[in-house]
Amino acid sequence: MNITLTPRGEELLRTALDRHPDRSPADIVEQALADRLAREQALSPADRRRKGEEIRAWLDELAQFSDKIPPIPGETFTRDMIYQNHD
């Protein structure tokens, strides 16, 4: 099987090869995949569901007062406005 790496994937593989010159690229990729699958399998479905629920709760908490933010029609923020007091 052949795979095509993204530039980031290629960079990661080169770093791993620099650290482990005795290993082949195929060995490194195989080990990375095995490690990833082992981590995923270590999480039970309940753990995965809880993680999703925690994310939803966090997003709800972030948005809980968003209705209190007054709209500013036609107002856009320029770079100068953002940095006006940061000289």
Chain segment 35-84, per-residue pLDDT in tens = 998 888 887 777 767 778 888 888 888 888 887 877 776 767 777 777 87
- Report yes or no on 22 lying in a domain: yes
- Report yes or no on 25 lying in a domain: yes
**What's the whole-model pTM score?**
0.48
Which residues form the domain of 40?
Answer: 9-66
- Angle, to 10 degrees, between the axis of helix 7-19 and the axis of helix 25-42? 100
Which residue from 57, 16, 53 is spatially nearest to 35, judged by alpha carbons? 16
- Report yes or no on 72 lying in a domain: no
